[in-house]
Amino acid sequence: MKPDTAPAALAGAPPDEAELLRRIALRDRRAFDVLYRAYFHRLSRFLERITHRPYLTEEIINDTMVVVWRKADTFNGTSRVSTWIFAIAWRKALKALKRLGATAEITADETPAPAAEEPESEFVRREWRERIARALATLSAEHRAVVELTYYHGCAYREIAQIVGCPVDTVKTRMYYARRKLKELLGGDAEDSR
């Protein structure tokens, strides 16, 4: 194939994910590599926040992408490709946690330690991010997933419902309780820091 006739996704332009999946269904390894690279960091962030077990992240990503490779021909286009891939990752994460007999909760001791001395404004930002991380860590995996997908991945409630496999109203309820708990926790932290 001539370089000027190569698909945009394989020639350096932003990938058309549906086209990549179509090519993956035909066993195009280059298309798979492009899609894998496009999702690796997004899935890493999502899975680390859901499982709080960084050592599981790469394994779950690989398991997810094996399903993408094997089942690309089953993608029916009724959702975005990202919704389909995140739904696979969500199910794989829950299975991994169940296999470990673990809940998706962690203690504050497992949150990252503060970094070395930095300028005051960066220190304040870092401190606030750590407070948010500790507060998020107290939420259930289901509540964390809704917050993560909404605020860090820009997903709408309908898309989140498809990813986690529940009704939209359940997503709204989870978000309500997650926000309420975060407000309670962060409000207390904010007052303590004054």
Q: Are residues 87 and 129 in the same domain?
A: no
pTM (predicted TM-score): 0.66
Res 11 pLDDT > 70: no
What's the pLDDT tens digit per position in 50-75?
A: 888 888 899 999 999 999 999 999 99
Would you say residue 82 lies in a domain?
yes
Half-sphere exposure of 125 (CA within 13 A, CB side): 5
173 burial (CB, 10 Å; 0-12 / 13-18 / 19+) is middle
Q: Which pLDDT score, from 0 to 100, does residue 2 have?
A: 38
Q: Which pLDDT score, from 0 to 100, does residue 64 have?
A: 95
- Give CA–CA dist 178/172, Å, rounded: 10
Query: The CATH number of the domain where 131 resides is what?
Result: 1.10.10.10
- Give CA–CA dist 51/35, Å, rounded: 23
Is residue 51 within 8 Å of residue 137, measured between CB atoms? no
Q: Which pLDDT score, from 0 to 100, does residue 15 have?
A: 64
Res 48 pLDDT > 80: yes
What's the pLDDT tens digit per position in 13-24?
A: 456 999 999 999
Using the 3D structure, point to which of 105, 131, 156 is the last residue of a domain. Answer: 105
Domain that holds residue 158: 113-194
Q: How far is CA 12 from the centre of its chain?
A: 24
Residue 84 — left, alpha, or beta (φ > 0 → left; ψ -120 to 50 → alpha)? alpha
More confident residue, 9 or 94: 94
What's the pLDDT tens digit per position in 117-148?
A: 445 666 777 777 788 888 888 899 899 999 98
What's the pLDDT tens digit per position in 149-171?
A: 988 888 899 999 999 999 999 99
* pLDDT averaged over every residue in the chain: 80
Query: How many structural domains are present in the chain?
Result: 2
Res 32 pLDDT > 70: yes
Instruction: Tell me which of 23-27, 79-83, 130-134 is least confident.
Output: 130-134
Q: Are residues 190 and 129 in the same domain?
A: yes
